[in-house]
Amino acid sequence: MARVYNWQLGREMSYWYPESRPQKQFAAVFDVNKCIACQTCTLACKTTWTSGRGQEYMLWNNVETKPYGFYPLAWDVNVLDALGEQRWSEGRYEGRTLFEAARAGERVLGWRPEELDYAHPNVGEDDCAGKVDRGHAFGGQHLAWFFYLARICNHCTYPACLASCPRTSIYKRPEDGIVLLDQSRCRGYQECVKACPYKKVFFNPLTGVSEKCIACFPKIEQGLQPQCFANCIGKIRLAGWLSTPDKANPDNPIDYLVHVRKIAKPLMPQLGLEPNIYYIPPLHAPDDFMHQMFGPGVKEAIAAYRHADDDLAGLLALFGSTERIVPRWKRSGEQVLGLEEDGSEIVRVPLREPVHVRAGYDEGRAILRTNCP
Amino acid sequence: MKVSHWICALGVSTVVACQRAAAPASAATELVLRTASVLPDDPGDAAWARAAVFVVPLIPQDMVEPRQLVATTSELRVQALSDGTRAALRLEWSDASADQESRPAHFSDACALQLPAKVAADIPAPQMGEPGKPVEISYWRAAWQRAVDGEPLTLASLYPNAVVDHYPFEAQPAHREIAEAYAPARALGNDMAGPGSAVQDLVATGPGTLEPRTAGDSQARGRRTATGWAVVISRSLPTGLVPGQRTQVAFAVWQGGAGEVGARKMRTAWVDMLREAH
């Protein structure tokens, strides 16, 4: 075990390999509040990558309803339960990570889903956390809640799948930090399936090896966002590059959301993998649940999101505005610009969508119009 | 897993009993590669009754993570014959459950034998060799044996009730090549995606370094016995192993039902193997 620095934990931790950060780290921000669980992302991925034999059950991208939706079944409950108490103290994680809690003879504290755990990808869909009593819904705000959590591989800085593979069949690309599983080298031991707490590695029984999300790297290499991003009709996703906190650049949209405004949080940072998909937390879920799921700072993140100023609101308007990766951005008055590294313009969106009001009666055609909000 | 139990039960019901006269276990301290005019390739062949049984204790692989911390298969009964060009080794062990599928969270029973790549006094580390001192491994898997024996691995064989609406590559014959794209391991020639044989030839220079051994010529046939498995693995004699000379051999056994796969295995130390003088 080596000692590495995990900035999400605010401390060093043990990891199987020494710290070796890529030149650039693929990362993304998902705005949970915009997701409607239409599963277009899921199908975009499915039709692009996992339509083959042996891949039938695989969802490299899935959207589950929290708190009762899971794919595979109980993935988060199981790993949280196995890990035991997870304590934070003033932004520093005081508990053990999955690497530090590994049992004797193991590289990672993991668990292995059974086949049937994959059989119900939409279990718990739209289920509320609590019952809404009869008539309660008409009384204004009620306490029942749920939200949609879209998930892909987190392309972690310290991947548990990579650490667990005794054959080093999994590697993290130095050029972009994407975590890939070498299909020519894997021998199907399924150690990675067991180790990945997010359960985003899948065993293909008909090719005898495991497979995982590849962040659509052929698109990334062309400066394009992955399929699940480009096809998101809710425009909840923004892909880009993430710096470490000490090198945060406010002109980088991902850095701005994660490091500068701190409104995007990692999924279960306490596990120790330094995941690189960040979530703008839902506005209406209980604080304790949010703290468990996204670590410290969620309340502050939600407050900033609720009271977004023109810069923050403007950047959020860039989500889903182009298929290209937007490495830089700036707001110019009432417009927000997505830029290339060299400053050239990729896309320009209005900070506020214009409102058009039509006359109720169309004089030219002599008919009444219905204006929809 | 109810599904797998049901499938395993079917497998047991179709087991071919491996009948042969029990050969006496030898008290010898080394495995003798007996000379034979014909090498039996079936573990049930009566010719094996004439070959002495060498009992090798198995120990958990507890040197590298992930480690095998629970001892399962306790011993391996080994017999060895050679016709002067090839060596055939018959391995027999107890395993109450027949696990002949590799599926999510399910692993196949398997065994392997390992020889130093060179017959030399300076032998490699028994745990899959070491840098500069490779070992050659013949790896048999029950799941592959099942496929070779006429039950090819398909979605229907694994999940009889599975229904799939559509595969893109089945829309038009011209789209067949797309199927390869959706099976990258096969497209890249990974033997795990369809070895076409019950055994793989591999070479290693330490834990985690297994690579295909293209020059290998191993053949194998495994049969379910009343108490476990019997497998015959044959391969070319190690280069330079002349009559009267010794080399080493090591073995490993995996019980798929116990979650044994990869480094999670029961193994032996090096065993001296003497090629009979005549």
ipTM score for this prediction: 0.91
Could you give the maximum distance between any two Cα atoms of chain B, in Å?
A: 64
User: What is the C-alpha to C-alpha distance for residues A39 and A64, in angstroms, rounded to an integer?
Assistant: 9
The pLDDT assigned to B9 comes to 35
User: What is the C-alpha to C-alpha distance for residues A120 and B86, in angstroms, rounded to an integer?
Assistant: 52
The pLDDT assigned to B176 comes to 80
CA-to-CA dists, residue A146 to A35, A266, A324, B264, angstroms: 12, 19, 32, 41
User: What is the C-alpha to C-alpha distance for residues B218 and B212, in angstroms, rounded to an integer?
Assistant: 12
* Cis before B104 (ω within 30): no
Q: Which residue has the tokens 């116990």?
A: B258
Query: b vs e for A82-113, b when ≥16 Cβ sit within 10 Å of the residue's Cβ?
Result: ebeebebeeeebebbbbbebbeebbbbbbebb
Contacts of A221 by beta carbon, 8 Å cutoff, 6+ apart: none
Query: Is residue A326 within 8 Å of A246, Cβ to Cβ?
Result: no
CB contact under 8 A, B104 and A203: yes
pLDDT band at A134 (very low <50, low <70, confident <90, very high): confident
The pLDDT assigned to B27 comes to 63
Query: Is residue A78 within 8 Å of A111, Cβ to Cβ?
Result: yes
Q: Which part of chain B is CATH 2.60.40.1190?
A: 2-153+195-275
CB contact under 8 A, A187 and B262: yes
Q: Which domains can be identified in chain A, with CATH numbers?
A: 2-129+145-292 (3.30.70.20), 325-373 (no CATH)
The pLDDT assigned to B6 comes to 34
- Please enumerate, as own/partner, the contacts of B215-218 that have beta carbons within 8 Å and a separation of 24 or more: B216/B136, B216/B138, B218/B138
Alpha helices in chain B (DSSP H): 2-13, 142-148, 155-158, 176-181, 184-187
CA-to-CA dists, residue A95 to A194, A270, A287, angstroms: 21, 8, 19
In three-state secondary structure terms, B136 is strand
Query: Is residue A265 within 8 Å of A257, Cβ to Cβ?
Result: no
Pair type for strands B86-94 and B228-236: antiparallel
A224: exposed, middle or buried (C-beta count within 10 Å: 0-12, 13-18, 19+)?
middle
What's the gap between Cα A307 and its chain centre?
23
User: What is the C-alpha to C-alpha distance for residues A290 and A205, in angstroms, rounded to an integer?
Assistant: 36
Residue type, A156: C
Question: Which residues in chain A are contacts of B67 at CB distance < 8 A?
Answer: 104-106
The pLDDT assigned to B177 comes to 81
CB contact under 8 A, B105 and A190: yes
Q: Which residue has the tokens 């003798």?
A: B32
Residue B40 C-alpha, separation from nearest chain A C-alpha, in angstroms? 30
| Weakly modelled stretches of chain B, pLDDT under 70 | 1-27, 195
Contacts of B54 by beta carbon, 8 Å cutoff, 6+ apart: B25, B26, B28, B30, B31, B32, B77, B78, B79, B80, B271
Query: Is residue A240 within 8 Å of A27, Cβ to Cβ?
Result: yes
Q: Is the dihedral of CA A150, A336, A26, A289 positive or negative?
A: negative
Question: Which residues in chain A are contacts of B60 at CB distance < 8 A?
Answer: none
Window from A193-197, A210-214, B13-17, B69-73 with minimum mean pLDDT: B13-17
The pLDDT assigned to A142 comes to 67
Per CATH, domain B2-153+195-275 is 2.60.40.1190? yes
CB contact under 8 A, B192 and A208: yes
The pLDDT assigned to A15 comes to 98
Query: Is residue B117 within 8 Å of B126, Cβ to Cβ?
Result: no
Would the pLDDT of A232 be above 80? Answer: yes
SS (H, E, C) A233-267: CCCCEEEEECCCHHHCCCCCHHHHHHHHCCCCEEC
CA atoms within 13 A on the CB side of B167: 20
Question: Which residues in chain A are contacts of B167 at CB distance < 8 A?
Answer: 51-53
User: What is the C-alpha to C-alpha distance for residues A220 and A339, in angstroms, rounded to an integer?
Assistant: 16
User: What is the C-alpha to C-alpha distance for residues B174 and A174, in angstroms, rounded to an integer?
Assistant: 37
Of the candidates B193, B208, B262, which has its C-beta nearest A207's C-beta? Answer: B193
Query: Is residue A236 within 8 Å of A32, Cβ to Cβ?
Result: yes
End-to-end CA distance of chain B: 52
Q: What is the pLDDT of residues A295-351, one digit of tens each?
A: 999 999 999 999 999 999 999 999 999 999 999 999 999 999 999 999 999 999 999
The pLDDT assigned to B23 comes to 55
User: What is the C-alpha to C-alpha distance for residues A195 and A170, in angstroms, rounded to an integer?
Assistant: 12
Instruction: Give me the mean pLDDT over the A141-163 stretch.
Output: 93
Q: What is the pLDDT of residues A255-310, one digit of tens each?
A: 999 999 999 999 999 999 999 999 999 999 999 999 999 999 999 999 999 999 99
Q: What is the pLDDT of residues A55-109, one digit of tens each?
A: 999 999 999 999 999 999 999 999 999 999 999 999 999 999 999 999 999 999 9
CB contact under 8 A, A106 and B64: no
Residues in chain A: 373
Would the pLDDT of A170 be above 80? Answer: yes
CA-to-CA dists, residue A367 to A70, A106, A357, A364, B146, angstroms: 51, 74, 16, 8, 75
Q: Which residue has the tokens 């295995």?
A: B265
DSSP state of B111: E
Q: What is the pLDDT of residues A95-112, one digit of tens each?
A: 999 999 999 999 999 999
The pLDDT assigned to B26 comes to 55
The count of other CB atoms within 10 Å of the CB of residue B47 is: 17
CB contact under 8 A, B162 and A56: yes
CB contact under 8 A, A189 and B184: no
The pLDDT assigned to A345 comes to 98
User: What is the C-alpha to C-alpha distance for residues A147 and A63, in angstroms, rounded to an integer?
Assistant: 10
Q: What is the mean pLDDT of chain A?
A: 95
Residue type, A206: L
Interface-testing mutation among B101, B103, B191, with chain A (most A C-beta atoms within 10 A): B103
